[in-house]
Structure 1
Amino acid sequence: MTKAPSIRDLTATLGEQDVARVKRVLEGGVRIPAQPRVLEELRKLIARHELDVRLIARTVNQDPGLTAMLFKVVGNAAYRKHQPFESVEQILHAVGVEQTYRLAQAIALAGNAAVRKEQRVYEAFWARSQAVGELAMLIAEERIAVCNLFPDQAYLAGIFHACGVPLLLQRFPSYCREMRLGTPGHWANWREEDRKFNSDHAVVGYLVARHWCLPGFICDAIRHQHAMNELGDHESRSMVAILQLAIEVHARDQHMPNPEWDDVKGEVLAELGLGDDTLPEFVDDILERFRGGIQAGVS
């Protein structure tokens, strides 16, 4: 297990205002989860450049749940050129070692903590995160020539982007009720979170991402997911655009409102090289592939 994060470690790249917000979160008792042992072993192997595929595959296979979910994720249409996969070694050869590690990080986070209370809300949250992650993978693959971001990176950002929600749910007994998370179609509003709990899921998600050693541009995208205009870095802006479009596509698929979309639509489409005229066909194609992946997973 990794050691508890220090404020200095987690705020190295932040401005003064964000440093103050991070201190409030940590001092407020929000607990940042540690990475599972298997991920720690994988991280150390990669850091030492020990990239023997057989050794890494054996390490992954120590966790049967992680292995099973890895096969499910690489069954996504974004990896259709490489399918079918019959072993972890095949996944590592086709997808890449570091890319597989990033997928494993996302999978591990989704299964990291259990919430005894509000279990249905927790399960619905992770179902949404999983869907947003898979949609982000498909969008990244389709727009790779424009954004130069890859499906594994987009999936990682999709799973982590709102991971602060279950941590706030665990920390504050009234969070679920105050944020109306039990209401179908209702999602946590970061401005309400900040006003009522002196925290918000973007800041908490950023802390988790930093502690789990995600790439810096993904951490920044998580932190600024609701403030894309504050990002000058191309990779981070593109990742936020992918996330925001994935959230909008998911909302359309579920026939639910997405209040943020009208405010960010212009920036998102410009960043992804899409227009009002091309968006409907693009969304239809993404949803067709997404639904096809769901059907394949069920059969």
Structure 2
Amino acid sequence: MTGVSLAEAAKALGEEEGRKFRRLMERGVKIPPQPRVLEELRQCIRRKEQDVRVLARVINQDPGATAMLFKVVTNAAYAQHQPFDSVEQILHAVGIRQTVNLMQAIVLAGLVKVDKNQAAYEAFWARSQAVAQIAMLIADDRVAVCNIFPDQAYLAGIFHDCGVLLLLQRFPAYCAEMHLGEPGRWVDLDEEDRKFSADHSVVGYIVSRYWRLPEFICDAIRLHHHITEMGDHEARSMIAILQLAIEIYYRDQHVPNPEWARIKDEVMPELGLGDDTLPEFVDIVIERFHASQH
């Protein structure tokens, strides 16, 4: 159950994007519904429930998501609150709305399954989780500059490429055609459009709207490859965090990022970084990222 229909979610798309999305739906691309635990949490938010015991009982209904929540909050962005011994403690320390944001990202990761191309599926989630965790650290450090918080960055990090997963789920040839099994390779937008008449950013945007994510996060998901075309858009800082997180992920993997040269002059000033400060910043984030993985 959701509070917005697919038709409503697609309203903000332009004519061409809307036509592509409708065609993808006709070809069998399925948008995953929100699971019950999220709808119950959303109802709690709507009625302004402040009793963390009630909220913890809702979250604990999903043992897998609960276990993942504990793993996510070991991120160094929440170092001052660790260790966490209960969901109630997480809700107190991280915040109710922030914990719900983390849960939205976590349950998506367990919802979409791919029968074929299992190695690519696992690699996709490993990349998404790493980018999301790195984005949390960037947001934590740069919050005074861009007013983006770790839970929001994690949410965007998990959702920003979820359209890739849905296309991979639907089209068996997508993995090979997009070279997803090759180290350092990711989806080329022009090639994706030419071969599948699809845009994974648009699919991800529809999922995020359907799941009622904050509007600026939905916009960042839709436009995360287009920061150079954006003016003073409220999603711009989120895109900058995502793109720097992707660049740091690539550096940590010791593979080149094909997009970085084109976008770095837009990303760094948005986050208050320059050529002189970026290397040290990257080293600190990578160190904090690895420290939270153990």
1:133-152 equivalence runs, <5 A: 133-152=132-151
In structure 2, the residue matched to 1:39 is 38
Task: Return the TM-score normalized by structure 2.
Answer: 0.96
Counterpart-to-counterpart distance in 2, 1:102 and 1:41: 13
1:1-12 equivalence runs, <5 A: 1-2=1-2, 5-7=5-7, 9-12=8-11
Which sits farther off after the overlay, 229-238 or 216-225? 229-238
Counterpart-to-counterpart distance in 1, 2:230 and 2:26: 27
Which sits farther off after the overlay, 227-236 or 210-219? 227-236
Counterpart-to-counterpart distance in 2, 1:208 and 1:189: 21
**Residue 252 of structure 2 corresponds to residue 262 of structure 1:** no
Q: What residue identity is the alignment partner of 1:231?
A: M
In structure 1, the residue matched to 2:276 is 277
Higher RCO structure (Cα 8 Å, ≥6 apart): 2
> What's the CA shift for 1:3?
8.1
> What's the CA shift for 1:200?
1.6
Alignment root-mean-square deviation, CA: 1.5
In structure 1, the residue matched to 2:124 is 125
> What's the CA shift for 1:10?
1.1
Secondary structure, aligned partner of 1:294: coil
Which sits farther off after the overlay, 184-193 or 165-174? 184-193
Q: What residue identity is the alignment partner of 1:192?
A: E
Which sits farther off after the overlay, 95-104 or 12-21? 12-21
Task: Return the TM-score normalized by structure 1.
Answer: 0.94
In structure 2, the residue matched to 1:26 is 25
> What's the CA shift for 1:168?
0.3
Which sits farther off after the overlay, 58-67 or 174-183? 174-183
Counterpart-to-counterpart distance in 1, 2:48 and 2:231: 32
Counterpart-to-counterpart distance in 2, 1:173 and 1:71: 34
Equivalent residues of 1:132, 1:158 under 8 A apart: yes
Counterpart-to-counterpart distance in 2, 1:25 and 1:129: 23
Equivalent residues of 1:3, 1:34 under 8 A apart: no
Counterpart-to-counterpart distance in 1, 2:43 and 2:4: 17
Equivalent residues of 1:147, 1:235 under 8 A apart: no
Equivalent residues of 1:115, 1:170 under 8 A apart: yes
> What's the CA shift for 1:53?
1.1
Relative to structure 1, the CA distance from residue 83 to residue 130 in structure 2 (aligned partners, 3 Å threshold; closer, same or farther) is same
> What's the CA shift for 1:271?
0.6
Equivalent residues of 1:4, 1:34 under 8 A apart: no
> What's the CA shift for 1:36?
1.2
Secondary structure, aligned partner of 1:235: coil
Q: 1:177-217 deviations in whole A, cap 9, x for unaligned? A: 11111222211112211111011211111111111110000
> What's the CA shift for 1:16?
3.5
Relative to structure 1, the CA distance from residue 233 to residue 102 in structure 2 (aligned partners, 3 Å threshold; closer, same or farther) is farther
Secondary structure, aligned partner of 1:177: helix
Equivalent residues of 1:231, 1:237 under 8 A apart: yes
In structure 2, the residue matched to 1:71 is 70
In structure 1, the residue matched to 2:95 is 96
Equivalent residues of 2:135, 2:153 under 8 A apart: yes
Unaligned runs of 5+ in 1: none
1:1-299 equivalence runs, <5 A: 1-2=1-2, 5-7=5-7, 9-295=8-294
Question: How many pairs does the alignment contain?
Answer: 294
Q: What residue identity is the alignment partner of 1:6?
A: L
> What's the CA shift for 1:116?
1.3
